[in-house]
Amino acid sequence: MKKIQGIFLDWAGTTVDYGCMAPVESFVKIFEEKGIQVTMDETREPMGMAKIDHIRTMLEMPSIRKQWQGELTEKDVCELNERFEACLFESLDEYTDPVPGAVEAVETLREMGLVIGTTTGYTREMIDIVRAGAAEKCYVPDVTVTADDVDAGRPYPWMMYYAAMKLGVYPMNRVVKVGDTTVDMEEGRNAGAWTVGLIYGSSELGLSIEEVSHLTEDERAIREADVREKLMAAGAHTVLLSISELPAFIRELDRILSEKEESSWSVLSF
């Protein structure tokens, strides 16, 4: 690699937990306990944020706020977050399997001389559980940064800056951010990094491996187009079908950048 130095990956929905299923059930449950019905779209829309910010964002949605009984306070938000964490910790260790192709893709990227950083919407306590489970299945990134480590999580770029500092990579246009949510795309662009979205396994797609296997060819095409449109609108420079395509894309990106005197996204078209 002549230009690209590091790959910064998201966790759930990108490298582990196909479909980003672990948090969804817990979010739905804590709202149901308050007598509030939430949709899958509402639950997944803020995915990728720090979990307490995810809850705040959901509570700002008109249809959810309308169902809330009485005045909404920060104490309510904190209590919901505590309940969410309790629910999530009951099953989080069951959602640590790497998505298909992730381990192989990361191995190839390392062979290409790249360092592997990660950022996440999980807290440090949550990601420690996920990291331990993923490590048993051969996925071990070089650095993991959470919103606990910085002043604010996504869409702010601070986690990426901190990861870059820990890994010693700069400037940020030598970094590629890879994720599965719109807020991942915003984080990457806000950091000044090349930003790549993934379709299969993503929270935006929101399907399990089994559900994907039952899609018809037409259904696949429709869903792929929908996810691609959302991620591109949020700032992705390109959107790949799966993480397995990432090493080939990085090679091509590095080749193009190496042929340009200045690394500017305005000169590229993906």
Topology alike, domains 6-20+97-267 and 22-93: no
Nearest to 159 by CA among 168, 169, 149: 149
What fold is seen in the domain 22-93? DNA polymerase; domain 1 (1.10.150)
- Residue 11 predicted with pLDDT over 60: yes
Locate the domains of the chain by residue range. 6-20+97-267, 22-93
Distance (Å, whole) CA 133 – CA 93 = 7
**Is 148 labelled a binding residue?**
no
149 marked as binding residue: no
Among 43, 82, 40, 41, smallest CA distance to 59 is for 43
In single-letter form, the type of residue at position 199 comes to I
Question: For all residues of the chain together, what is the average pLDDT?
Answer: 94
Please choose, from the candidates 132, 176, 124, 165, the residue with its C-alpha nearest in 3D space to the C-alpha of residue 14: 176
**263 has a pLDDT exceeding 50:** no
CATH of domain 6-20+97-267: 3.40.50.1000
- Which are the catalytic amino acids? 10, 51
For the stretch 229-240, pLDDT in tens is: 999 999 999 999
Q: Is 41 annotated as a binding residue?
A: no
Helix (H, G, I), strand (E, B) or coil at 146: strand
The pLDDT of residue 132 is 98
Tell me the per-residue pLDDT of 92-150, one tens digit each, with 9 for 90 and over. 999 999 999 999 999 999 999 999 999 999 999 999 999 999 999 999 999 999 999 99
Strands 194-198 and 175-179: parallel
Q: What is the rounded CA–CA span in Å between residue 119 and residue 154?
A: 9
Instruction: Encode pLDDT of 213-228 as tens digits.
Output: 999 999 999 999 999 9
- CB atoms < 10 A from the CB of 111, how many? 9
Distance CA 213, CA 216 (A): 8
